[in-house]
Amino acid sequence: MMMWERIKKSKQGLGLILFILIVMMLGIFAPIFTPNDPYKTNLVMKFQAFSMEYPLGTDHLGRCILSRLIYGIRPTLFLAIVTMVGTILIGSLMGILSGYFKGWIDELIMRIVDVMLSFPSQIMIFAVIALLGVNVINVILANIFIKWAWYARMIRTKVLQYREKDYILYSRCIGSSGWYILIKHLIPNISSDLVVLATLDIGWALINISTLSFLGLGVQAPTPEWGAMLSEAKNFMTTNPVQMFAPGVAILLTVSAFNLLGDVMRDILDPKEVIK
Amino acid sequence: MKTPVLKVENLFVTVKDQSGLNQVVKGISFVLNKGECLGILGESGSGKSITMKAIIGILDSSFSVSGEAIYNGKNLIGAPQKYLRKLRGQKITLVMQHPMACFDPLFSIEKQMKETLRTHTSMADDEMEKKLLDILNFMCIRQPDEVLKKYPHQLSGGMLQRVMIGLALVMDPDIIIADEPTTAIDAITQYEIIQEFLRIKNQRGKSIVFISHDIGVISAVADKVLVMNQGCVVDQGKLDEIIKNASDPYTRQLIRTRNKITQKYEESVKRSI
Amino acid sequence: MIVYIIKRILVSILLIFAVTFICFVFINMIPSDPAEVVLRVRQTPIITEEAIKEVTQALGLDDPYFIRYLKWLRNCLRLDFGVSYINPSRTVWGEFTRTLPDTILLALSSLIIVIIVSIPTGFFCAIFKDSLFDRVVRILVFATTSMPAYVVGLLLMWLISYRLKLLPTSGSGGFRHIIMPSITIAMTYISTYIRLIRNNMLENMKEDYVVYAKVRGLNPWRISIFHILKNSLQSCMVAIGMSIPQLISGTMVVENVFAWPGLGKLCIASIFNRDYPIIQLYILFVGILFVLFNLIFDILQHLADPRIRSLS
């Protein structure tokens, strides 16, 4: 909670959080904010320029680009968040298991982590998708699969650090159970590091998911998703560049916002280490 | 007979960091005479090595220096880097504290020594080699040709310290500054290194500034002592005079602590007999 | 030292076996029956139970798992990886060797751009730390980490090919075709390496040997180039070496953006077509590449560092 107090003082941090919240709200309440149905095709109205009815014009099927952009927040951003939540859950679980029990459990988990970290992540994603088939859920699974090991290792180190701290020894002395101690003391201690890392990695997940969708391996065509929209727009680059710029700029802005926020939070937490 | 080689007048050093401006050296003045060894005594953080680094101009831009340091009729403070660079390693040399960390690990001793010579002179390769072997011989290094071919990590701290002192001597400088040269090495080597400095002073007649926090080491080499505390000179003069009647409470404390340690040592020696 | 190298080679061989085993498990985990697939590949009109049984026996698919692994491994050593499921007239190895040169060409030209740009930039950023140049580069470095390669590629394509009409949009052919894809790939790596070299040099600058070099009166440029940069590159060497297999595997996305007929494009197409033997070979290839480059650069670093060289 101390972290939140400090972020409140940083104008940059607050601005970024505000921006991200606005984007999320737009996504959640998409039907309210969109002028048109994102799926409704109208071939007569294709490649329209800016107008009151279509603020960003229309695409090759006469669909409203702005509406598709706003609806696109849903899969793009929320899939990234789901990915990160899944990654953190699995990573934390493995890291805590490993750091708390030590012994052979630790050995086993850490060896798996080593293998995961040494293998090229991009190839792992493609291997998982190739194996499981082209599907959104598989994209998320693949992303969690290659990322959890980072979190497991980080959390294990933290657990080992905090294990030896006085108050954990103290609570062990007064006889509280192991898990109780962990939840009570460890989680608040780890959470600030976790939030920073997760914020930076949401940007990473967003890039990954949209890239896969762009390649046609993730979210499929009629669904408005920024990567998929770019893939469609690619063919009409000459005639209708707006169709490409809109999702492109949206991705850049959103990813930058998360990365900047992660950076701001890291500086707040640890002013000494400005550059990672 | 006493001719000053270095005259420092009112030297101030200020460092700028996160907490703002911080004065670390507060108006120091002293004179170093030819053939004399000046000891600078003080705890770590008292500003003694920063003073010397300021004089030869190797502090980075976060430090600002004012005052005078007259060498050879010229003020070194604020002198152009090009001029200072010519002096460093040739006319004014420095022996540093951590011999193990002072050489580039990727180059052999020979390369690094020759690199220094080449910077200041236009000697031929074999001439340089002869000169290096001579100086290493003078430093009592056995098999100097072997040592030259070695990489820094292959030599001991004491050996590297000798190499560093040799390199400080090889250009026949006017002033040698020794910045805690005995702190990072073991007691026996420490004694030997002190003997080297005495030899340099007596045989070669060099002017030496010897920085240390160890009153015992200082008493062995220095003719004249400067006691520094928190950036100021608190006592100055001959060492035995200072020990007899120190004017500053800090100096007195230094001496008392030392006496206590010697006492304890003598007692324990007696008891063990 | 020799003991170390031999040890390292043995470990690498073990790792390569592990990689082959993973690839073998991979092809056996696919949801379709390989016998059925083979029949479909042979364009057998009606696939009956008997036919499947026959093929299963003929291919030894009912052998124990480990025996099948050994057989598969033997075929791999003979560079026999089977035929493409989609186009049975083409062997997997043939498809692979057909597309590999293009990918290597692309990865190599990207690597050259990365080295030419990032070493001097990182160097000057460290030397002139906090100057205008350093700050601008740091902002650019930050910006590129927020840019997915495919977005950069598309923007470049639009600007340079359509607007300025300077370079061809896609495909391969001459020197002009390779410029945009390699710049796009290089983009993501350049920022990483600028940061790596800059921070490593700043670390080195704090070392005593740099102070002592100044004390010896050396020229500051000489100190920066011969001592600080050399030491930094020494410690970045493994990272730079490991970027080669990463570049080769990282061409996948960009190849698809620019329709570059390399391995990555083949692999994505194979994922769509469920052409598993090709995907398998690709994973095998990248896995072995990683192990080998890790080995080579680890040994090279050991040979280049006098501290480690004289150990053992």
The alpha-carbon gap from A231 to the nearest alpha carbon of chain C, in Å, equals: 9
Flag whether residue A207 sits within 8 Å of chain C, measured between CB atoms: yes
Q: Cα–Cα distance between A264 and A11 in angstroms, integer?
A: 10
Residues of B in contact with C219 (CB under 8 A): 85, 119
Q: At residue C83, does pLDDT exceed 60? A: yes
Q: At residue A273, does pLDDT exceed 50? A: no
Sequence-separated (6 or more) residues with CB below 8 Å from residue A66: A34, A35, A36, A54, A55, A56, A246
Question: What are the residue boundaries of the structural domains of chain A, listed by start?
Answer: 80-275
Residue A70 bridge partners (DSSP): none
Closest residue by Cα to residue A210 from A116, A145, A143: A143
Closest residue by Cα to residue C103 from C311, C286, C296: C286
The pLDDT score that the predictor gives to residue C42 is 66
Angle at CA of residue C100, ends C96 and C102, nearest 5°: 140
In this structure, is residue C5 part of a structural domain? no
Contacts 24+ apart (CB under 8 A), C32-38: C32/C274, C34/C59, C34/C61, C35/C59, C35/C61, C37/C85, C37/C276
Q: What is the mean pLDDT of residues A51-70?
A: 74
Check CB contact under 8 Å for B85 and C213: no
Sequence-separated (6 or more) residues with CB below 8 Å from residue B230: B26, B46, B47
Rounded alpha-carbon distances, angstroms, from residue C179 to A109, C37, C157, C175, C213 = 44, 40, 11, 7, 42
pLDDT bucket at C64, cuts 50 / 70 / 90: confident
Q: What is the mean pLDDT of residues C194-219?
A: 89
Sequence-separated (6 or more) residues with CB below 8 Å from residue B218: B39, B41, B210, B212, B225, B239
Residues of B in contact with C230 (CB under 8 A): 104, 106
pLDDT bucket at A10, cuts 50 / 70 / 90: confident
Q: Cα–Cα distance between C291 and C14 in angstroms, integer?
A: 10
The pLDDT tens digits of the residues spanning A61-118 come to 777 778 888 888 888 888 888 999 999 889 988 888 888 777 788 888 888 887 777 7
In this structure, is residue B28 part of a structural domain? yes
The pLDDT tens digits of the residues spanning C261-272 come to 888 888 888 888
Same domain, C301 and C199: yes
Q: What is the mean pLDDT of residues A29-33?
A: 77
Q: If you average pLDDT over every residue of chain C, what do you get? A: 83
Same domain, C140 and C19: no
Domain of residue C60 covers 15-77
The pLDDT tens digits of the residues spanning B153-200 come to 888 888 898 899 889 888 888 999 998 888 777 777 788 888 888 888
The pLDDT score that the predictor gives to residue C136 is 93
Q: pTM of the entire structure?
A: 0.81
Instruction: Identify the three-state secondary structure at position C280.
Output: helix
Q: Cα–Cα distance between A209 and B39 in angstroms, integer?
A: 68
Sequence-separated (6 or more) residues with CB below 8 Å from residue C188: C144, C145, C147, C149, C250
In this structure, is residue C82 part of a structural domain? no
Sequence-separated (6 or more) residues with CB below 8 Å from residue C131: none
**Which one is predicted more confidently, C250 or C183?**
C183
The pLDDT score that the predictor gives to residue C133 is 93
In this structure, is residue B131 part of a structural domain? no
Same domain, C251 and C301: yes
Rounded alpha-carbon distances, angstroms, from residue C84 to A214, A239, C45, C53, C88 = 25, 38, 19, 22, 5
Q: At residue C34, does pLDDT exceed 70? A: no
Flag whether residue A166 sits within 8 Å of chain C, measured between CB atoms: no
The pLDDT tens digits of the residues spanning A185-238 come to 777 777 777 888 888 888 888 988 888 888 888 887 788 888 888 888 888 777
The alpha-carbon gap from A119 to the nearest alpha carbon of chain C, in Å, equals: 7
The pLDDT tens digits of the residues spanning B250-271 come to 777 777 777 777 777 777 777 7
Q: Cα–Cα distance between C263 and C99 in angstroms, integer?
A: 5
Same domain, C45 and C177: no
**How many structural domains comprise chain C?**
2
Same domain, C70 and C102: no
The alpha-carbon gap from C130 to the nearest alpha carbon of chain B, in Å, equals: 12
Residue type, C286: V
List the subunits that have 3+ CB pairs under 8 angstroms with B.
C
Same domain, C142 and C272: yes
Check CB contact under 8 Å for A248 and C268: no
The pLDDT score that the predictor gives to residue A274 is 39
> In CATH, what number is assigned to the domain containing residue B55?
3.40.50.300
pLDDT bucket at C229, cuts 50 / 70 / 90: very high
Domain of residue B5 covers 1-91+210-268
The pLDDT score that the predictor gives to residue B233 is 86
The separation between CA A238 and the C-alpha centre of its own chain, rounded to angstroms, equals 32
List the subunits that have 3+ CB pairs under 8 angstroms with C.
A, B
Q: At residue B28, does pLDDT exceed 60? A: yes
The pLDDT tens digits of the residues spanning A150-179 come to 888 888 888 777 766 666 666 666 666 666
Q: At residue C312, does pLDDT exceed 60? A: no
Same domain, C180 and C215: yes
The pLDDT tens digits of the residues spanning C244-259 come to 888 888 888 888 888 8
Q: Which CATH architecture has domain A80-275?
A: Orthogonal Bundle (1.10)
In this structure, is residue C168 part of a structural domain? yes
The pLDDT tens digits of the residues spanning C89-133 come to 788 888 888 889 889 999 999 999 999 999 999 999 999 988 899
Closest residue by Cα to residue C240 from C288, C195, C204, C285: C195
Q: Which two tokens stand for residue C245?
A: 């297999």
In this structure, is residue B179 part of a structural domain? no
Q: Which two tokens stand for residue B70?
A: 């007259």
The alpha-carbon gap from B108 to the nearest alpha carbon of chain C, in Å, equals: 9
Flag whether residue A242 sits within 8 Å of chain C, measured between CB atoms: no
The pLDDT tens digits of the residues spanning B32-84 come to 998 889 999 888 778 888 898 899 888 888 888 999 899 888 898 888 888 98
Provide the H-helix boundaries in chain B.
48-56, 81-87, 109-120, 125-138, 144-149, 157-169, 187-204, 215-221, 239-244, 249-272
Same domain, C284 and C248: yes
Sequence-separated (6 or more) residues with CB below 8 Å from residue C235: C200
Q: If you average pLDDT over every residue of chain A, what do you get? A: 79
**How many structural domains comprise chain B?**
1
Residues of C in contact with B161 (CB under 8 A): none
Give the residue on A whose Cα is nearest the Cα of C267: A126
Give the residue on C whose Cα is nearest the Cα of A218: C272
The pLDDT score that the predictor gives to residue A275 is 37
Rounded alpha-carbon distances, angstroms, from residue C219 to B81, B118, C39 = 10, 11, 74
Q: Which two tokens stand for residue C178?
A: 């390779």
Sequence-separated (6 or more) residues with CB below 8 Å from residue C154: A230, A234, A237, A244, A248, C257
The pLDDT tens digits of the residues spanning B125-164 come to 889 999 899 889 888 888 888 999 988 888 888 889 889 9
pLDDT bucket at A276, cuts 50 / 70 / 90: very low
